[in-house]
Each structure stands twice: as structure tokens, then as C-alpha cells.
Structure 1
């Protein structure tokens, strides 16, 4: 179990964040960026997992700009509200909030990563590309099923990046990951057969345990390589 803290972004926005800390040696910091369902139990669980691997993990509540304390499930009503909130998101605002979270953990261990899921996966990519313009440069970033990444694939990135995609993702076409591969052959891209969108979220029907296990192991190896 982690704790909730308050952050203030550079533009004055006040937001909550969930923080999970290791019980032993600290290897680094990781900013965990949510899907479009808020910092719900699934995202808190991701932060707890990273803490168990030795990282101080912080998940900023990026919906706090629009509605406080959003924690949605995955039923029809929750999906409807999630998409309504998603429509309000602005990448600049999100990166300001990620920057505030990054500031909170940047002195933990050797470096600080950004890791995200779906919208958060796209934000992880944008952090690698645009983070310096918002006052932070990640040591590395990891994106799980980064929706829309193909549209920004040509942007220059400032740190190592790993991306995970389901081969059967009906939200993210192969053209998007191919655009990244063409623009950035140095990016580690992993594609999982038999997996669709949100395959790494155990709370969703699309969860594929075998693919999630491999993806998570690869993510930890990547963090070990770059953070310690």
C-alpha cells in the first residue's frame, strides 16, 4: 500500500499522486502514467509492483485538472465517463503534471523513468520527446500499448524507449508501431501474439497473463539497465 501526496505543477495546477516506496534498496524513481480511468486500483497496483522491484513509483492524478479523485472501473458507465474525461486532456497539461511528479522522485536512486499504459503509454513517449521543454528529461521511458504514437513517431527523443503492443490490438494498428520503427530503429518494440489492447491489465477482460508476464519482465530488465 502506498500513500497519497499533493503536487503543484509549474502552471499552478494542484493535483494528487499515489506514491509507493520500496521496503529495501532504492534503485530509482518511476513516474507511472494512468490509462483513461484515473489512478484507480490497477494503476496503484502498477506502482506497488514497481516499488516491489526497488523503485519509488509515483502516479499523478492527471484528471484532477477536470475532476478530483477519479477512480473508474471498466463497466459501460465507467467507460462512458472515461471517454468524456479523455476528451478534455491536453498533452501540455499532462506533461506539466508528469513534470511535477518527476520532480518529486527525481533524486531517488540513479535516475528517473516514465512508464505508462494506453494514454499513459503515449505520455511516456511524449515525455521522451518533449520532456525537456517541460523541465524534465527521463533516464528512459516505457510505454504499454501507446495509443496514437504513430502520429508523433517522427519526433526526436532524448532517452532510450521501450514499447509494448498487442498484435491483435483493435485500437492501435500495426501502422503505428511501424511508424515508430521506421523513424527510430533504436527503440525497443515488442509485439505480443494473441494479445489485444490493455493485455497487461489484470482487471480487464483483455488481460493475457503470459504476454503481461513477459512484458513486465522486459520492462524491469530495461529499468535495471538504465536506472539500476
Structure 2
């Protein structure tokens, strides 16, 4: 663990994992309204194994009482009052400090889960120094559709998530075509191995898409023109190439 200091003077711990070789870039990992618990540290270690410096700031230090990780009921109960107890200004300041702590290694992505997924989505338009944002099943994302995204944004939802209904996801897609959204036949917390809602197949698919997204925008590879790749990938293709008529955004699968 290391200690970081936000712009407002708040000091908080963060878990940092470094790759064995020269970093390709960095990933900020945001927790499920918990601290830098074992599940989040494991995720950070996974990104480090892929070649990225990973840092997981303990946003919970802003004042929310810790609960056991990946308990399906507790994160939902705690998450419902997270914004009321802590607000978003403080956590966003902490996220900025985490970005600043690793930006020297290259471009930076942000990945968040549940409450952290919502904060990752907000971060895309509220903090500086990010190359892309990825959010997993963040309650509240579908209600934050007003602003055009400033950076490439990828979101994963579960079809059986009681906190984000499928019809709300459909409406979000229509209102924010600049966001790449994928859905899975799974519930809230489908990526959390310690939880009752863990879905190995959904988690594997989401991780593959997340890693591809990070490699494209953090490593700076030339964009690949995939069908349904989203507005950002299309925007980076050569200007002389016209946008295909069947680019309707990511499929609902």
C-alpha cells in the first residue's frame, strides 16, 4: 500500500501493482463502494500481469464504513447511500490524485465496479489525464446521460441487475450513442468472484472487451475498424473512409 494526497489535503491509502517489465500504461481501479479489498487487489494484480501499472485508491476512506467484500446485499445497501454520505467531489479528487500518481508511465485508463463503475463514468468528464473509462454495472449511470462523453467510454451491465433495468439500458443507449454498452445474461456483481452473482462466462467476455479497449486507447494502437466498434473507433479511421451504414453501436449480447 502507498499513501496519496488529494488536492484538498485528504490523505488516503492506495494499492499499487507494477508489471514485471516496462509498463504499457496505467489503470486506475475503483472498488464496489468498499476499500482496496482482496477482490480489488486481485483485479489490480491482473492488470499488472497484462503489463499495466494498476492503482486502486481506497475511496472508502472518505467516511463510509467498510463492509465485507462481494456480499450481494451489503454493497447494494451501502451503495444506495454512498453519494449522500460522501458525495462525489471528494472521491473524484482522490481519483485525480491516483491518476497523477501513475501518469508518468504512460496513458491512463480507469475501470470501476458497482459504485466505482458510476464514479469511473463520472470521471470521464470530471477529471483530467484519462485515455478511456470502463464501468461495470454502476447504478446511476443510466441516469447520467445528459453530457456528451469527452473520452471513449465502455459500460458493462447485467440483464438481471435489479438496480439497472434492461429498459433503462435501452433508453440510455438511445440517448448516449457515443458510449459503447454491452449487456450479459447475469446479475449485479457478475464480475465479483466472491459473490453469489458471479458469472464466469459474463466476467470473461467483459474482461476480454475491457482489455481490448485499454490496449486500443492506452497503448495507442492504430484503431481497428470493427463492425459495431462504436463512435470513437470510427472517428479515428482515415477521414476518406465513410462511416458504414450498419454501425449502430455495440450489440446487446
Q: Deviations over 1:176-196 (max 9, x none)?
A: 423431232122111112x01
TM-aligned CA distance change 1:106 to 1:171, over 3 Å: same
* Aligned counterpart, 1:142: 134
Structure 1: which 5+ runs fail to align?
Answer: none
1:45 aligns with 2:42: yes
1:156 aligns with 2:148: yes
Pairing 1:80-99 to 2, within 5 Å after superposition: 82=78, 86=82, 87-99=84-96
User: Tell me, what secondary structure is at the counterpart of 1:99?
Assistant: helix
Which one of 178, 181, 196 corresponds to residue 186 of structure 1? Answer: 178
Distance in 2 of aligned mates of 1:117 and 1:75: 14
Asked whether the 8 Å contact 1:63–1:85 carries over to 2, the reply is no
Question: For the aligned residues, what is the CA RMSD?
Answer: 2.1
TM-score by length of structure 1 reads 0.88
What are the ranges of 5 or more consecutive residues in structure 2 without an aligned counterpart? 220-253
Matches of 1:154 and 1:84, distance apart in 2: 21
Instruction: Tell me the matched-pair count.
Output: 218
Residue in 2 that maps onto 1:26: 23
Contact kept, 8 Å, 2:109 with 2:133, in 1: the verdict is yes
Structure 1 CA distance for aligned equivalents of residues 72 and 175 of structure 2: 37
Aligned with 1:113: secondary structure?
strand
Give the structure-2-normalised TM-score: 0.80
Q: How much has 1:76 moved relative to structure 2? A: 8.6
CA contact (8 A) 1:36 1:83 kept: yes
The answer for the alignment partner of 1:58 in structure 2 is 55
CA contact (8 A) 1:122 1:149 kept: yes
State the alpha-carbon separation in 1 of the partners of residues 70 and 180 from structure 2.
Answer: 30
Tell me what 1:208 maps to. Answer: 199
Deviation at 1:20, TM superposition (A): 0.6
Alpha-carbon distance change, 139 to 207 in structure 1, aligned in 2, over 3 angstroms: same
In structure 2, the partner of 1:197 is 188
1:16 CA displacement = 0.5
Contact 1:117 1:143 in 2 (8 A): yes
